[in-house]
Homo-oligomer: A and B are copies of this chain.
C-alpha cells in the first residue's frame, strides 16, 4: 500500500500514520519527496484494510499494490483449474459449447431445441426456468416446472444441464435439478447468493456484470471460493458502453487478462455479448481464438416464436454451421471441440 500525503501534511502527521501502520505488525516506509511525503505499508492486506487510511484528512491517495483477490489468483494457484459439469470437463483440452434456448418455455420447445444442440455437437444444455427481466410485464419463466422439463430433456439427450438461479431460497431446488448453476450478470454482486452457491459443490457459471471490471468479477468469484466451492467458471457476456448498435460490447480483452490473473476457466456468451444473431458466429470464433475455454450460446428451435431473446438466438441450422466452421479455430487454439 502506497500512501501519498497532502502538501500540507507535517512530519508529525507522517509519524502518527507510520505508528498506526507499525502497530498492526506491518512494515512502515517513509519517503519524503520534493513536494510531498509518500508512505508505504508492506504486509498482509486484510490487516491493511483496518487502517482506513484513505479517510485520513492528511492522506491524498492510497494505492494497493497487490491483487485484492487471493483464492482465484494465479499467483496462489499457477495451474489451470478444470471444472466438471456432469461428465464434461471445462478448462482443459476441450472447448465446451453450452447451448440451448434462453428460457424453458414448454416440454416440446425444450425437446426440439435440445435435439438441435445435441445434433450440432454441444457439450451441455442450457435453459432458464427463472428469468430476470427488466420489465415486470415480460415472461418471467416457468419456475419449478421449467426445472423439471429441463432435467427430463437433459436426461433424454444425455447432456448435462446448466440453469440460472436468482435467489438464495431457490438454491437447494435448482441444485436438485441442474448439473451447474448459472449466476447471471445482474446477480454478479448479489453477495448473499454468491455465498449460498459457495456452500454447494456444484459448479457455478458466474457471468460478468454489465458494469463490472474484471477485478470485480474475480472478487465475486472469490466470494464463492472463500465459502469452499472451488468449481467456478467465469463468463464474459459483454459490458455496458455507449455503443447502441449492439446490445452489449463483448470485451474479449478480458479473456487473456483473466487467463493471466486467474486459474479459473473462462467461457464467452456471444449471444448476449452482441444481441444480434448475425454477429454471433464471428464472435464465437473470435472467442475461441482469444483463448476461451468454451461458449454459452442461445439456440432455439424457432427463434421467431421465442418468449425471450429471440433476436439473438441461432436457428438450428445456423448452430450446426457454426460448429462446423468453429472447429479449425478451436484446433488452432490448441483445443478440441468434442
Residues of A within 8 A of B (CB): 2, 4, 7, 27, 29, 31-36, 38, 40, 42-46, 49, 52, 54-57, 61, 63, 65-66, 68-70, 75, 132-140, 166-169, 186-187, 189-192, 209-211, 213-216, 219, 222-223, 226, 239-246, 249-257, 259-260, 273-274, 276, 278-279, 281-283, 285-291, 303-307, 310-311, 313, 328-329, 331-333
Contact = CB atoms under 8 A, between A and B. Distances in A.
How many chain copies?
A: 4
A134 B216 contact: yes
A65 B4 contact: yes
Contacts of A68: 135, 137
A42 B52 contact: no
Contact of A211 (B169, B209, B311): B209
26 contacts: A2-B38, A7-B75, A29-B31, A31-B40, A33-B43, A35-B66, A46-B137, A49-B138, A49-B139, A54-B311, A57-B304, A70-B137, A132-B189, A136-B223, A136-B226, A169-B169, A211-B242, A213-B242, A213-B244, A239-B241, A242-B242, A243-B254, A250-B251, A253-B283, A282-B289, A329-B332
A55 to B, nearest CB: 3
Given A40-B38, A192-B167, A278-B260, A306 B136 contact: no
Contacts of A42: 31-34, 38
Contacts of A213: 242-245
B252 A283 contact: yes
A215 B253 contact: no
B211 A240 contact: yes
A250 B286 CA distance: 12
A68 B136 CA distance: 10
Nearest to A226: B136
